[in-house]
Amino acid sequence: MTRVLYPGSFNPITKGHMNIIEQASKIFDEVIIAVLQNPAKKEGLFTIEERLKLVKKLYEEKNNIKVITGECAVDIALLNDCKAILRGIRNFNDFDYEASVREFNKDISNNQINTICLFADKEYAFISSTAVKEIFNLGKDISKYVDPLIEQKMLIKKRGI
Ligand code: ADP
């Protein structure tokens, strides 16, 4: 059984993230999505509990996709017997960042955890959670970038319901 861990903030989860998850679910027996708090990023739109609930809902019918939370991606990967951490690459900035994080993760796991990167299909490659939030705050349509469930929850949150 080949299991991979896909950690991220997912604030909110976009069709770019979902494209990476779909690709990975065809390559690996099981994909574990870890919804984490990135200390370098402010909490922003959804709390960790809200994000966890939303991502769980999106994949509730997929047998080979599990959604969890935790603190440290390497610890979660080791605990869940994941062969590697999965990250998505959009551009050179992502590449540089992921290449350096990969070294740290390999190091702190005593060479046990490697990193695998997948590229988003080109129609999703430019999407970022940050841009989606900005566009949404300007009152523009974000339905091309996120699942309808996410858009609906963003609208509810905006209206303060
Ligand atoms: P983090 O705070 O860990 O970077 P993100 O939710 O921003 O969490 O991203 C999680 C992973 O998904 C990262 O590897 C990021 O590069 C990747 N990713 C985000 N958006 C896209 C996209 N549109 N296409 C491909 N990969 C993406």
50 lines ligand 1 (CB under 6 A): no
pLDDT in tens, 83-114: 899 999 999 999 999 999 999 999 999 999 99
Q: State how beta strands 3-8 and 30-35 pair.
A: parallel
Cα of 97 from ligand 1 centre, angstroms: 11
Answer whether residue 159 shows pLDDT above 90: no
Cα of 60 from ligand 1 centre, angstroms: 21
Tell me the CATH number of domain 3-159, given options 3.40.50.300, 3.40.50.620, 3.90.400.10, 1.10.8.870: 3.40.50.620
20 lines ligand 1 (CB under 6 A): yes
Element (H, E) at 30: strand 30-35
pLDDT in tens, 12-29: 999 999 999 999 999 999
Cα of 156 from ligand 1 centre, angstroms: 24
Task: Name the pTM for this structure.
Answer: 0.96
Q: How confident is the model at residue 161 (pLDDT cuts 50, 70, 90)?
A: low
pLDDT in tens, 113-135: 999 999 999 999 999 999 999 99
